[in-house]
């Protein structure tokens, strides 16, 4: 008989090994799924993880890694703050959408004005849009003790409806012959977010993501606020004795995560996406949850996890194009990563113990 025995202290080995083991098990389970679909599992795994880095078009695809990883890292960093404090913002997708809408609306409102201040103002508007959307579940949580998981998640669908209204109505391109979607920001230099270095894939969203990761690492390691966030998640009662006000922490963490998600939306709509459209949201807000946990809620780990998840996006698109793999299979493959990560993470706080049959018969615990 096997039972779980709580460890006196979390295992340092499993805290490091969990993401690695989770990735290996995801490859194995994903290979079985691909084989069931009639695909060669080795070929699919190679296409997803190897070809984007060392294949025929690797020189181009490597540059695209940061394009995909930028919004994932930025959103995951914000989410990790709340997750560390036991505050569960699951609606980053909605905050990402609202940040894009608010930032795009500011830029399009002054079209075709050319001014260097337009893009910085759009950045502020994008952060504000995500922050304001995150404040709804935060205020409801602190004032009426609602569940922030349910409220933030339901607001995603409200944001998607507003996105459709924007693409079909108040932000639709008046010169677009009636087609849904806003003006393309690539034709509006003052409000565009182009590559900083041609061919590198790095735009201002990626730069902000890396800078934010560094700042958050310093906050968590060197600042009293970082200590309070970690203490609130690990020992809520001790945090109260230390003077931490839970309501203020909820507002702070939800606000920061919402603002960063809004920034990710703004950088995406002015850069790779190029315009507000009905299908603008690509699920980054939900995938960032996987990135946050895969990176162990550590800013530096989140950067590496974001690059890994971006690799599965690019490799998954290649597998769908070259091997005819259904896109749903790629999404399931990414979901397996979170499943195995959470399952194996149990080993950080528990160890497996064998209980002999004789001891069981004697009633020994």
User: Distance between CA 298 and CA 219 in Å, rounded?
Assistant: 11
pLDDT at 50 over 80: yes
- Per-residue pLDDT tens digits for 192-216: 988 887 766 778 888 999 999 999 9
DSSP state at residue 101: H
CA distances from 98 to 29, 131, 159, 261, 320 (A): 36, 9, 6, 9, 30
Q: Rounded to 5 degrees, what are φ and ψ at 321?
A: -80, -45
pLDDT at 268 over 60: yes
- Per-residue pLDDT tens digits for 109-128: 999 889 999 999 999 999 99
3-class SS of residue 3 = strand
Report domain extents, the chain. Answer: 1-37+327-365, 67-325
CA distances from 108 to 18, 64, 118, 175, 357 (A): 46, 27, 10, 13, 73
CATH topology of domain 67-325: ABC transporter involved in vitamin B12 uptake, BtuC (1.10.3470)
Position 360 confidence tier, pLDDT thresholds 50, 70, 90: low
pLDDT at 359 over 90: no
DSSP per residue, 160-177 = HHHHHHIIIIITS-TTST
User: Distance between CA 189 and CA 196 in Å, rounded?
Assistant: 13
Segment 293-310 shows an average pLDDT of 92
Q: Rounded to 5 degrees, what are φ and ψ at 104?
A: -65, -40
Nearest to 270 by CA among 174, 180, 165, 186: 186
pLDDT, the chain, mean: 89
pLDDT value at residue 346: 87
The DSSP H or E segment spanning 352 is: strand 350-354
The DSSP H or E segment spanning 350 is: strand 350-354
Position 131 confidence tier, pLDDT thresholds 50, 70, 90: very high
* 186-190, 193-197, 311-315, 337-341: least confident range: 193-197
Nearest to 95 by CA among 289, 300, 270, 265: 265
Instruction: Provide the whole-model pTM.
Output: 0.90
Longest dimension (CA), the chain: 84
pLDDT at 322 over 80: yes
pLDDT at 356 over 90: no
């Amino acid at each position: 008989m096997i039972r779980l025995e709580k460890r006196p202290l979390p295992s340092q080995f499993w805290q490091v090994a969990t993401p690695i083991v989770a990735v290996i098990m995801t490859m194995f389970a994903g290979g079985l799924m691909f084989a069931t679909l009639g695909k060669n599992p080795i070929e699919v795994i190679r296409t997803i993880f190897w070809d984007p880095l060392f294949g025929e078009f690797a020189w181009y695809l490597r540059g695209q890694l940061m394009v995909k990883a930028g919004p994932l890292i930025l959103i995951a960093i914000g989410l990790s703050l709340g997750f560390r404090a036991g505050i569960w913002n699951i609606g980053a997708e909605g905050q990402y959408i609202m940040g894009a809408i608010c930032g795009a609306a500011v830029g399009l409102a002054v079209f075709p004005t050319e001014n260097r201040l337009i893009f910085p103002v759009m950045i502020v508007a994008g952060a504000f849009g995500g922050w304001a959307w995150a404040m709804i579940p935060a205020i409801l949580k602190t004032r009426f003790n609602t569940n922030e998981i349910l409220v933030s998640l339901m607001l995603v669908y409200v944001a998607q409806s507003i996105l459709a209204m924007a693409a079909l109505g108040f932000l639709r391109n008046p010169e677009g012959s009636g087609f849904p979607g806003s003006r393309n920001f690539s034709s509006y230099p003052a409000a565009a977010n182009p590559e900083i270095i041609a061919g590198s894939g790095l735009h201002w969203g990626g730069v902000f993501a890396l800078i934010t990761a560094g700042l958050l690492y310093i906050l968590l390691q060197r600042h009293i606020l970082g200590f309070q966030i970690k203490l609130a998640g690990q020992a809520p009662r001790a945090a109260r004795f230390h003077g931490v006000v839970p309501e203020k922490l909820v507002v702070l963490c939800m606000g920061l995560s919402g603002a960063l998600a809004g920034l990710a939306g703004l950088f995406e709509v002015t850069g790779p996406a190029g315009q507000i459209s009905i299908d603008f949201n690509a699920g980054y807000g939900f995938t960032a949850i996987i990135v946050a946990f895969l990176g162990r809620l550590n800013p530096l780990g989140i950067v590496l996890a974001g690059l890994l998840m971006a690799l599965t996006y690019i490799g998954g698109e290649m597998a769908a194009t070259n091997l005819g793999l259904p896109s749903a299979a790629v999404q399931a493959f990414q979901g397996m990563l979170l499943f195995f990560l959470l399952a194996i993470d149990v080993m950080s706080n528990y160890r497996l113990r064998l209980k002999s049959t004789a001891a069981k018969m004697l009633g020994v615990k």
